[in-house]
Structure 1
């Protein structure tokens, strides 16, 4: 029988059993235009629309697939006027508390019942945010559920805003990644995400859910002499990593992106940790251009099933060959602006001579065929169905960022029409989340019966935050493939 404490992920597409997600909180509604980019949002969002008309569907679909009996028995009560909004948040009396689809705010609230932990967390957060000592005293008096909400949103019950919001916590993928039975924690590059990291470390190291895994939690840190370096040297040796740049693609194989957010020094440390601890045999580094448009590797490709991937066409074999033809190498140009570098490091072999892959499709095909033992040809779906300008437009709105609920059943965004056509061409069914939810509620279909399907979430507001369903999840338990 599955244990509440079981933590294990050995693929991107094994049937999903448990994950962490954080539904949009009131802090997102406090993002203002002048601070949006500082807080890593491309635009301001309408919170009620994001939460009630978009994220609500994401959450209910997850619950139907992961916690069917519990959600199906009460689904008719959730949207009654007296329950409105109570479904979403742990500080509400009628909060729907699932042990399969887990809200970090609920975990944080339970930790804050312990006085010593409460003191330490308040001190850590207030030191980071540079608040007054008296404010710490005020926070100590708050009820645990209210304090948890305040530490996340930055807003006191009297509506005073005492911290900046941490709106990116909805992208729970970035706080950490489960690698077999270990958890690799993030070390964010942007200050806007540091409070997320502080709070989640307390949860991972102190909550009973993770008590059997504290010796399997991996923190990637700066070199010991980092603080002695001048600013220029520090910038060169920066160690930063976020979960969107880490993919557990097979029991023996981890992918790590080097990107705008994850540094090459962090990637190097991950290779050593994975091999020294004997967690995986292979670590493949996928270095992409350090640009906001891409951000993490999971904005450029994700997996649909063992023999199928969705990828950004400009990073494809055809796309890169086309760009390389635009200049004459003897003039001094050596790489196109979208050039990728893919290096695979195998435990026990010379790190100075890694295995090189020329193209992303080559790597993904190798994973499908050799790691996952697929017996059918590897298929690729391209962002925007590889039509200009839809490939780039839809990559920006997370066409390549899908979450697998089980092999061949993934969640994406409804605005990426051309990419949806690409799914259809590969024999995938495409259905709107609201229509599927209606069928599930009426018992016209059961999650176990659904296969080869792209589920489309409404995404007018969610897409403004620049993250898809893959970003909005931290799987902690999947079935083995």
Structure 2
């Protein structure tokens, strides 16, 4: 792969590189009983989804686009033993497994080959997949199909967990519990994968050690200041549009705007207040930038949304 030099200042420039996620184990985990909790309306025909996804990726490659797969990036990042232990410790905890099982689950994950570990961090891990886990209280009560590490079936929507603005990246503190672990995996890649770590050195926000991450790098619970990448549109080198949606909170927008101003990644932010409904979940569901001076917009948008201009204060924030 050529060295990474991320620099995103528009929605309509030539696409040179993209991260996709090929559907996999995580979508096979969907059942009629859990699909609503995992934010899916219907079950997915996984083999057909893989076929269609492969065709899309090949089409991009035929146009000269470098396609990086999320699972490959995670796999490469997990080659570092320290990183493996760190992310296993973050995703397999007493709160997800119980105090009796947590060490057993962590040990089982630690002993996996790297590719298998990456698959299960995205696809989840059940009681029956951990030897002996069903013999204790938690595993026995929950049953063999219960998850000790939750699956991430929404990982296919790679626009939401992060968004590049300028030479830095926004990590999304996701609104729905089913997606919160995605940010941890993306953060691990951006901070520890050799290509991203070197590309971002000195590129981003004001926090020490953020490696070019504008927002969302902390382990803290950001709620209610949640934000998702589908609400972030880079209109130009000077302006970023951010939707105030059912999943992106005004506090998050103000905080992100402050970070972008501080980093010199934007001169002003256009905050667009969307109806808080499933049909207008994200800004990119109602508008798409198609040229320097042209945007395709949902016809009812002008009657249903308000917009606010946010500019830096006297302290450049």
TM-score, normalising length: structure 2: 0.83
Residue 350 of structure 1: how far off its partner (Å)? 11
**Secondary structure of 1:107's match?**
helix
What is the number of residues matched between the two proteins? 284
Kept after mapping to 2: 8 A contact 1:13/1:304 = yes
Q: Whole-Å Cα distance in 1 between the matches of residues 26 and 110 of structure 2?
A: 21
Query: Contact (CA 8 Å) 1:121, 1:199: kept in 2 or not?
Result: yes
CA contact (8 A) 1:286 1:340 kept: yes
How far residue 112 of structure 1 moved from its aligned partner, in angstroms, is 1.6
Alignment partner, residue 411 of structure 1: none
After superposition, give the CA deviation of every residue in 1:105-158 in whole Å (9 maximum; x if it has no partner): 1111122222111111111110286122201111111100111011111148x9
- Matches of 1:188 and 1:128 in 2, distance apart? 22
Q: Cα gap change, 1:129/1:309 in structure 2, threshold over 3 Å: closer, same or farther?
A: farther
Are the aligned partners of 1:175 and 1:185 in contact in 2 as well (CA < 8 Å)?
yes
Q: Which residue of 2 aligns with 1:260?
A: 246
Instruction: Pick 1 or 2: higher relative contact order, CA cutoff 8 A, min separation 6.
Output: 1
| Structure 1 equivalent of residue 61 of structure 2 | 63
Tell me the residue number matched to 1:211: 197
Note the C-alpha offset of 1:34: 2.3
Q: Identify the match of residue 104 of structure 2 among 123, 131, 134.
A: 134
CA distance in 2, matches of 1:348, 1:18: 35
- Alignment partners' CA distance in 2, 1:287 and 1:199: 29
- Paired position in structure 2 for 1:26: 25
CA distance in 2, matches of 1:137, 1:267: 40
> 1:207 and 1:221, CA in 2 relative to 1: closer, same or farther beyond 3 A?
closer
Q: Say if 2:172 is the partner of 1:186.
A: yes
Aligned counterparts, 1:367-386, within 5 A: none
CA distance in 1, matches of 2:112, 2:75: 11
* Alpha-carbon offset, residue 221 of structure 1: 7.6
Report the CA distance shift for 1:128/1:215 in structure 2 as closer, same or farther (over 3 A).
farther
> Matches of 1:128 and 1:284 in 2, distance apart?
41
Instruction: Give the superposition deviation at 1:298.
Output: 0.4
Instruction: From the CA coordinates, give the structure whose radius of gyration is larger.
Output: 1
**Is the 8 Å Cα contact of residues 169 and 213 (structure 2) preserved in structure 1?**
yes
Aligned match of 1:94: none
For 2:227 and 2:94, the matched residues in 1 are separated by 19
Which string of whole-angstrom CA distances, capped at 9 and with x for unpartnered residues, describes residues 350-399 of structure 1?
A: 99xxxxxxxxxxxxxxxxxxxxxxxxxxxxxxxxxxxxxxxxxxxxxxxx
Tell whether the 8 Å contact from 1:66 to 1:101 is kept in structure 2 after alignment.
Answer: no
Once the two structures are TM-superposed, the CA of residue 8 in structure 1 deviates from its matched residue by: 0.7
**Are residues 128 and 65 of structure 1, via their aligned partners in 2, closer, same or farther at CA, if it must alter by over 3 Å?**
farther
- Cα pair distance change 1:350/1:117, threshold 3 Å: closer
Which deviations, in whole Å up to 9, do the C-alpha atoms of 1:20-59 show, x marking residues without a partner?
110111211221122212111121111112221x222211
Give the deviation of 1:349 after TM superposition.
7.4
Q: CA deviation at 1:278?
A: 1.9
Distance (Å, rounded) in 1 between the aligned partners of 2:315 and 2:181:
38
The residue correspondences of 1:34-183 to structure 2 (distance < 5 A) are 34-52=33-51, 54-67=52-65, 100-127=66-93, 130-131=96-97, 132=101, 133-155=103-125, 162=147, 163-183=149-169
Corresponding residue number in structure 2 for 1:279: 265
- Name stretches of at least 5 consecutive residues in structure 1 with no aligned partner: 68-99, 227-233, 321-338, 352-481
Could you tell me whether the CA contact under 8 Å between 2:26 and 2:124 is conserved in 1? yes
Q: Which runs of 4+ in 1 moved over 6 A?
A: none
In the TM superposition, 1:76-475 aligns within 5 A as 100-127=66-93, 130-131=96-97, 132=101, 133-155=103-125, 162=147, 163-212=149-198, 213=200, 214-220=210-216, 238-316=224-302, 320=303, 339-348=304-313
Q: CA deviation at 1:202?
A: 0.8
| Cα distance change of structure 1 residues 135 and 295 upon mapping to structure 2, 3 Å threshold | same
Q: How far does residue 307 in structure 1 lie from its aligned partner after superposition?
A: 3.1
Output the CA distance in 2 between the equivalents of 1:114 and 1:50: 31
Separation in 1 of the partners of 2:217 and 2:106? 28
TM-superposed CA distance for 1:216, in Å, is: 1.6
